[in-house]
Amino acid sequence: MVLKKPSVTYQAISKRLKVSEEDTGSTSIQAADSTAINGNITPTDKKIGFLGLGLMGSGIVSNLLKMGHTVTVWNRTAEKCDLFIQEGAHLGRTPAEVVSTCDITFACVADPTAAKDLVLGPSGVLQGIRPGKCYVDMSTVDPETVMELAQVIVSRGGRFLEAPVAGNQQLSNDGMLMILAAGDHGVYEDCSSCFQAMGRTSFFLGEVGNAARMMLIINMVQGSFMATIAEGMTLAQVTGQSQQTLLDILIQSQLSSVFLDQKCQNILQGNFKPDFYLKYIQKDLRLAIALGDSVNHPTPMAAAANEVYKRAKALDQSDNDMSAVYRAYIH
Amino acid sequence: MVLKKPSVTYQAISKRLKVSEEDTGSTSIQAADSTAINGNITPTDKKIGFLGLGLMGSGIVSNLLKMGHTVTVWNRTAEKCDLFIQEGAHLGRTPAEVVSTCDITFACVADPTAAKDLVLGPSGVLQGIRPGKCYVDMSTVDPETVMELAQVIVSRGGRFLEAPVAGNQQLSNDGMLMILAAGDHGVYEDCSSCFQAMGRTSFFLGEVGNAARMMLIINMVQGSFMATIAEGMTLAQVTGQSQQTLLDILIQSQLSSVFLDQKCQNILQGNFKPDFYLKYIQKDLRLAIALGDSVNHPTPMAAAANEVYKRAKALDQSDNDMSAVYRAYIH
Amino acid sequence: MVLKKPSVTYQAISKRLKVSEEDTGSTSIQAADSTAINGNITPTDKKIGFLGLGLMGSGIVSNLLKMGHTVTVWNRTAEKCDLFIQEGAHLGRTPAEVVSTCDITFACVADPTAAKDLVLGPSGVLQGIRPGKCYVDMSTVDPETVMELAQVIVSRGGRFLEAPVAGNQQLSNDGMLMILAAGDHGVYEDCSSCFQAMGRTSFFLGEVGNAARMMLIINMVQGSFMATIAEGMTLAQVTGQSQQTLLDILIQSQLSSVFLDQKCQNILQGNFKPDFYLKYIQKDLRLAIALGDSVNHPTPMAAAANEVYKRAKALDQSDNDMSAVYRAYIH
Amino acid sequence: MVLKKPSVTYQAISKRLKVSEEDTGSTSIQAADSTAINGNITPTDKKIGFLGLGLMGSGIVSNLLKMGHTVTVWNRTAEKCDLFIQEGAHLGRTPAEVVSTCDITFACVADPTAAKDLVLGPSGVLQGIRPGKCYVDMSTVDPETVMELAQVIVSRGGRFLEAPVAGNQQLSNDGMLMILAAGDHGVYEDCSSCFQAMGRTSFFLGEVGNAARMMLIINMVQGSFMATIAEGMTLAQVTGQSQQTLLDILIQSQLSSVFLDQKCQNILQGNFKPDFYLKYIQKDLRLAIALGDSVNHPTPMAAAANEVYKRAKALDQSDNDMSAVYRAYIH
């Protein structure tokens, strides 16, 4: 479909944003174009640990290894480590052992409970923390949890950075995640080559807790968008309109985004293979609502979306992609 | 900000869509690239009437005139016609007179009540309809209203096309609207040069009512997206995060769209000059909810959004841009 | 279960209300105690017409006849009239005929569309209206519809009263409805013996439209209460609590009401025989939301309830009792 | 206002329930009529401790003392103890001290965090627990919290009962609370005279966690009812209807309850003196939503209500009665 006139492009938007960014307190590290093309990131010589090889962690570790980092991995179910060991990773037997043998240990697990267990549980991270050790939690959790973890790590002389990531499995595999970091700025700098390996860009957002807050807001927007898309696609269907035509129209409108296109494709194809687990976006909506709760801020859209995702979970869609929220509308 | 790797572009999406479109029953007219650049549309020699010179109508008429159409205009408050008469338009004294002197009459008014009054009221469209006259209603209304209007027009020998438009004032001025048409296919073809003048692309969706349904769904998605964006931006603010940084992050994510960028800019700048009246998006949400109601389809996201827009209206934001829904979250 | 101390009773509440009522502009007619016991209402000698023999209309007509009124009935499906003719009613062949042969004609139909058709359709009420004829619409509709009907009736010299009723089939059969009236006060007085026959009490609320508004608000509260009850009963079930125990607790709490008890019983017994059609409470929620819309007043509880009832309708519960909204929570 | 016929009374409902109760597993203790009238409860000779003298705790302790119990009290702000010491209570310096010197210690605090701090904090309950000591938590918390507390108490040889109460300040003062208990049935029996002193009736619901679940469901229903009432009262106001008349009608309908009457009175009088803190009903809605979340059960009514209460909190209504949610609708 040939467009009459060029619309405002991502690039144009990005260029403008570049300027505006200089006015804000946030700083960011981007992978330079040439680096990206040549793959010429100079990997840090620090020993890297990685805990948690789920959808996101797997892609991240893969990219860390590709860019030449020395990585020790641990996962609750140890078999998942094998693939990475074949690619050159070392095996850690417990989180404590990984932390005690590495300079910087990253973790990426499912939810606040898992993040706390990993640190505070038996043979947990805390057992391995010594003065100077760096711990980077990439899980998407609530600010209270991350602040609590930061406190116990720091109280043992450790250095803490939270670094939740925006993206999905595909972007993780492609090294195109967006990293939101907050906490110890020195750790952020030490992670520079790691973040370049795994992500397209990173933001440093100040005090611990800010990255958790920002990530919850991003995912709240994402979750509500997804429910809205599913609502529109199903309303088209039940009123006799072509879902394909709806997508054709949307994709030419100013609402068009990669997200909207991909998720509508999922619906059209009935393909809900997880790129971002439905159960995790529901968790994030729940945590975002709680964030609003903590400051008495109403979030009626997120509240409505959360109820739809709960229905989807009741329909056994937890381990499908978030776009499977579609099924909550047709059952 | 330099991007590490090129992301999927609009163009790539459009190309793929082009193929998929061939499989659907919908047909579309696009302004060819060269045409657009040279402005070489061959205007129809039919006499064109236009009723309603609001935000959308004004841009449309302007573009019809620029591309060489013969246009007779009418507006409830006649002064608005002056500018167009200076540009070469003729003045119609009543809707009936416009219809009786023109071959094809377009109308673009605020809501179902206005659309009905225009046709059925004193000196209304129906008084001017003769066999063969074409009437094209571009207002966004509910399917019941448009089907009722089609019926009375056709019962007098007239030919009816509904052609609501997706877009806003800016896109209307730029001749970049998206036109959703349904009804008499011959009229759709007769309007070809008009649609090229005013729009970037048009879709023909079959039976009368389908365009109204599709437009309501599009605007429902748009309205819920907008409320979600406002919810995210305010939650950032009240939790101490930079709204500018939130936008920086969103715009680099897969959620990025022209709409998201523009509306966040409105919020950052506190500039709610209407591009799409808040009162109209609320009306469309209301009609979309009623559409769901008619087929027993729940639309909880739209229902939640509708309540937020009602609050915004109670805060006197009706005549601001839809992005002023932001104010419902901060008061 | 023996109560420790007497709680505030309905009677005590009613007594206090009696006083407070004197301060308000509303007036009311109650069936005196003795009247009720003896059944000694003196029926008006005016000829009464009745249009619409649904759940509510049937009980009303029955009570009108019992109390000695002369009644002519009409129903869309004429067979339903037979029973009442056996009880002494006359048969009207069309709404127009009923109106033209009676002094006061009552109507009680399903929704705004039916109410309009009855008046404006072929052989409709309007055809029978002559100066002095009284028309009393007991349907629950929106204020716009009732004001429109009042206008056309009055423009033909008729006298108009709106008189929607609060209650259900059981209360209708028992002559225990609550009548909300507005419009022509003289008609209200002329209907005195009729209202005593059919209802426990009546309120006169002033200008036409007020009774519709008040009834929609009452039913909005009722509809949201019912959805809330269903939500509580299902949450008990899915978390392993006894629904019977929940009811036992609720019924002893200050939340206890006849409504709550009856509707929980329906749920416990899985008996959703209609006392108040689910489709009608959903219609009333829709109209109440529109009422709020017309004054820019958010009604998020009603909006949420409406979505749940729509789901129930999609599950084929339209013709069950409103308590069948329960099923929307378990499927 | 004289009623035409007696409506179903509370007593009739209660009588029927009495029978049905026998079929369920739950057991209950009621204050016998004579006891209540004569105040002849035989107080246990066990030493009673009480932690937390808020709105609810104050009334409870007062009634325990009146009925002849030996009570040792502790409160975070010690001054609140003075009044009760004058009435014969002993002063405990820390929760640990109270527990170690008493046989049965009750606690009634604000929320899960406070409940945990009380047990696990410095000089907390756990420091005073010895084998055989009974701890009864009357706070309304989530099931996870209460199960966690039960576990630590029992692991030290203590005996645990949860016993959240349904009611408000007035009912607490009147000794008319409803007690929902679960956990150690022996403790429940040992508390018999205490529960009779403070409450109208009590229910034993089985395993620890069940009382928390049931109480959250009760308060969820209550919170949604209250928001619905406020929605109805404000919709009446903005559409020009008398709020007093709305109450008059509601109170005569089957929706009538003590709760509805009292809360409407609050609104009519603009008197929001706390009987049940708005911040606590919001907390309970939040916990009930989380309860639904834990079993993937949608609670759209509670979700909508929660957002309205959050707005009320943002309007500084936290320390007013829950009926102040009204203000969220008019600002």
Residues 23-42 of A with CB under 8 A from B: 23-26, 28, 30-33, 36
Residue numbers in A near C331 (CB within 8 A): 331
Closest CA to A207 of A178, A185, A186: A185
- Say if residues D326 and D234 touch (Cβ distance below 8 Å): yes
What's the pLDDT at C16? 43
A124: number of Cβ within 10 Å:
18
Q: Which of D292, D299, D310 is opposite residue A298, by nearest beta carbon?
A: D310
What's the pLDDT at C19? 37
B241 and B303 in a common domain: yes
CB contact under 8 A, A224 and B221: no
Q: Which helix (H) or strand (E) holds D204?
A: strand D199-204
Residue numbers in C near B116 (CB within 8 A): none
pLDDT-derived band at C184, boundaries 50, 70, 90: very high
Token pair recorded at residue A28: 């960011």
- Say if residues C308 and C325 touch (Cβ distance below 8 Å): yes
C323 and C298 in a common domain: yes
**CA dist., res. D63 & res. D304, Å (int):** 37
What's the pLDDT at B331? 83
Q: Compute the average pLDDT of residues B19-44.
A: 52
Read off the CATH number of the domain in which C90 is found: 3.40.50.720
What's the pLDDT at A27? 59
pLDDT-derived band at B9, boundaries 50, 70, 90: very low
* Shortest distance, CA B2 to any CA of chain A (angstroms): 7
Residue numbers in D near C261 (CB within 8 A): 8, 13
- The full length of chain D comes to 331
Residue B122 has pLDDT above 80, yes or no: yes
- Cβ neighbours of residue C94 closer than 8 Å, sequence gap 6 or more: C74, C123, C124, C127
B218 and B150 in a common domain: no
Residue C131 has pLDDT above 60, yes or no: yes
pLDDT-derived band at C202, boundaries 50, 70, 90: very high
Residue B176 has pLDDT above 90, yes or no: yes
- The full length of chain C comes to 331
CB contact under 8 A, D244 and C20: yes
* Shortest distance, CA D120 to any CA of chain B (angstroms): 30
Q: Which of C293, C299, C307 is opposite residue B299, by nearest beta carbon?
A: C307
C219 and C308 in a common domain: yes
Residue numbers in A near D311 (CB within 8 A): 296, 298
User: Which amino acid belongs to residue A278?
Assistant: L
**Bridge partners, B179 (sequence order):** B165, B202
D197 and D81 in a common domain: yes
What's the pLDDT at D16? 43
Residue A18 has pLDDT above 60, yes or no: no
Q: Compute the average pLDDT of residues C294-304.
A: 97
C266 and C284 in a common domain: yes
Would you call D184 helix, strand, or coil by DSSP?
coil
Share of chain D above pLDDT 70, in %: 88
Give one DSSP letter per residue of C126-192, joined into a string.
Answer: HHH--TT-EEEE-S---HHHHHHHHHHHHHTT-EEEE--EE--HHHHHTT-EEEEEEE-HHHHHHTH
**Bridge partners, D91 (sequence order):** D73
Residues 167-196 of C with CB under 8 A from D: 167-168, 171, 174-176, 178, 180
DSSP secondary structure code for residue A137 in this structure = E
* Shortest distance, CA C197 to any CA of chain D (angstroms): 11
Give a yes or no: residue A4 inside a domain: no
CB contact under 8 A, A314 and D298: yes
* Shortest distance, CA A236 to any CA of chain B (angstroms): 7
Q: Compute the average pLDDT of residues A28-48.
A: 64
B91 and B168 in a common domain: yes
- Say if residues B163 and B133 touch (Cβ distance below 8 Å): no
What's the pLDDT at A39? 53
Closest CA to D296 of B191, A319, C41: A319
What's the pLDDT at A331? 83
End-to-end CA distance of chain D: 35
CA dihedral (D272, D277, D279, D284) positive or negative: negative
Q: What is the 3-state secondary structure (H, E, C) of B152-184?
A: HHHHCCCEEEECCEECCHHHHHCCCEEEEEEEC
pLDDT-derived band at D41, boundaries 50, 70, 90: confident
What's the pLDDT at C331? 83
- Say if residues C35 and C41 touch (Cβ distance below 8 Å): yes
C300 to chain B: closest CA residue: B307
User: Which amino acid belongs to residue C247?
Assistant: L
- Say if residues A128 and A100 touch (Cβ distance below 8 Å): yes
* Shortest distance, CA A79 to any CA of chain B (angstroms): 32
Give a yes or no: residue D20 inside a domain: no
Q: Which helix (H) or strand (E) holds D181?
A: strand D177-183
What digits encode the pLDDT tens for the residues B235-245? 999 999 999 99
Give a yes or no: residue C61 inside a domain: yes
What's the pLDDT at B30? 52
A231 and A159 in a common domain: no
Would you call D206 helix, strand, or coil by DSSP?
coil
Q: Which of A200, A217, A240 is opposite residue B4, by nearest beta carbon?
A: A200
**CA dist., res. C282 & res. C318, Å (int):** 9
What's the pLDDT at A40? 65
Q: Which of A174, A207, A240 is the last residue of a domain?
A: A207
Residue numbers in C near B302 (CB within 8 A): none
Residue A33 has pLDDT above 90, yes or no: no
Contacts 24+ apart (CB under 8 A), A191-194: A191/A44, A191/A104, A191/A134, A191/A136, A191/A161, A191/A163, A192/A29, A192/A44, A193/A41, A193/A42, A193/A43, A193/A44, A193/A67, A193/A69, A194/A44, A194/A48, A194/A64, A194/A69, A194/A104, A194/A106
Give a yes or no: residue A17 inside a domain: no
pLDDT-derived band at D320, boundaries 50, 70, 90: very high
Chain D within 8 Å of C251 (Cβ-Cβ)?
yes
Count structural domains, chain C: 2
What digits encode the pLDDT tens for the residues C250-260? 999 999 999 99
User: Which amino acid belongs to residue C34?
Assistant: S
Residue B70, domain extent: 27-207
Q: Which of C186, C207, C228 is the last residue of a domain?
A: C207
A328 to chain D: closest CA residue: D298
Closest CA to B153 of B184, B197, B112: B184
Q: Which of D11, D25, D228 is opposite residue C221, by nearest beta carbon?
A: D228
Give a yes or no: residue A1 inside a domain: no
Residues 271-330 of B with CB under 8 A from C: 286, 290, 292-293, 296-300, 303-304, 306-308, 310-311, 313-314
**CA dist., res. C60 & res. C76, Å (int):** 17
Give a yes or no: residue C257 inside a domain: yes
Q: Compute the average pLDDT of residues D40-53.
A: 93
Residue numbers in D near C231 (CB within 8 A): 220-221, 224, 299-302
Burial of C270 (0-12, 13-18, 19+ CB in 10 A): exposed
Q: Please, which chains are in contact with A (at least 3 CB pairs closer than 8 A)?
A: B, C, D
Between the alpha carbon of residue C137 and those of residues C162, C164, D239, the distances in Å are: 5, 7, 21
B101 and B160 in a common domain: yes
Chain B within 8 Å of A22 (Cβ-Cβ)?
no
What digits encode the pLDDT tens for the residues A74-116? 999 999 999 999 999 999 999 999 999 999 999 999 999 999 9
> What is the separation of C-alpha D279 from the centre of its chain, rounded to a whole number of angstroms?
14
Q: Which of B31, B167, B217 is opposite residue A4, by nearest beta carbon?
A: B31
Give a yes or no: residue D171 inside a domain: yes
Q: Which of C203, C234, C242 is opposite residue D297, by nearest beta carbon?
A: C234
Q: E strands along chain B, which residues?
A: 27-30, 48-51, 71-74, 90-91, 104-107, 134-137, 159-162, 165-166, 177-183, 199-204
D196 and D243 in a common domain: no
D299 to chain A: closest CA residue: A307
- Say if residues A29 and A192 touch (Cβ distance below 8 Å): yes
Residue numbers in B near A226 (CB within 8 A): none
Residue numbers in A near D293 (CB within 8 A): 286, 306, 310
CB contact under 8 A, A255 and B220: no
**CA dist., res. B206 & res. C57, Å (int):** 43
Residue numbers in D near B300 (CB within 8 A): 300
Residue D203 has pLDDT above 50, yes or no: yes
Read off the CATH number of the domain in which C251 is found: 1.10.1040.10
CB pairs under 8 A between A and C: 3
What digits encode the pLDDT tens for the residues A159-201? 999 999 998 999 999 999 999 999 999 999 999 999 999 999 9
C-alpha count within 13 angstroms, C-beta hemisphere, residue C297: 26
C194 and C76 in a common domain: yes
D331 to chain B: closest CA residue: B331
Residue numbers in D near C3 (CB within 8 A): 11, 14, 33, 200
* Shortest distance, CA D255 to any CA of chain C (angstroms): 5
B328 to chain D: closest CA residue: D331
Residue numbers in B near A11 (CB within 8 A): 3
DSSP secondary structure code for residue C39 in this structure = T
Residue C133 has pLDDT above 70, yes or no: yes
What's the pLDDT at B41? 80
Closest CA to A276 of A266, A286, A290, A268: A266
CB contact under 8 A, C307 and B296: no
Residue numbers in B near C297 (CB within 8 A): 310, 314
Closest CA to B302 of B315, B316, B283: B283
C303 to chain A: closest CA residue: A304
D178 and D61 in a common domain: yes
**CA dist., res. C174 & res. D6, Å (int):** 12
Q: Which helix (H) or strand (E) holds D51?
A: strand D48-51
* Shortest distance, CA D144 to any CA of chain C (angstroms): 13
Chain B within 8 Å of C44 (Cβ-Cβ)?
no
- Cβ neighbours of residue B37 closer than 8 Å, sequence gap 6 or more: none
Give one DSSP letter per residue of A3-49, joined into a string.
Answer: -SSPPPPHHHHHHHHHHHHTTSS-EEEE--HHHHHHT-----SS-EE
**CA dist., res. D98 & res. C112, Å (int):** 67
- C202 phi and psi, to 5 degrees? -135, 155
Residue C136 has pLDDT above 90, yes or no: yes
What's the pLDDT at B27? 59
Q: Between vectors from CA D222 to CA D219 and to CA D228, what angle results, nearest 5°?
A: 145
**CA dist., res. A253 & res. D30, Å (int):** 66
CB pairs under 8 A between A and B: 310
CB contact under 8 A, D238 and C295: yes
What is chain D's mean pLDDT, rounded?
A: 90
Largest CA-CA distance found in chain C, in angstroms, rounded: 65
Closest CA to B241 of A156, A212, D17: A212
Residue numbers in C near D220 (CB within 8 A): 228, 231-232, 235
User: Which amino acid belongs to residue C30?
Assistant: Q
Q: Which of A207, A240, A271 is the last residue of a domain?
A: A207
Residue numbers in B near D300 (CB within 8 A): 300
Token pair recorded at residue A5: 């006139």
Give a yes or no: residue C2 inside a domain: no
What digits encode the pLDDT tens for the residues A222-265? 999 999 999 999 999 999 999 999 999 999 999 999 999 999 99
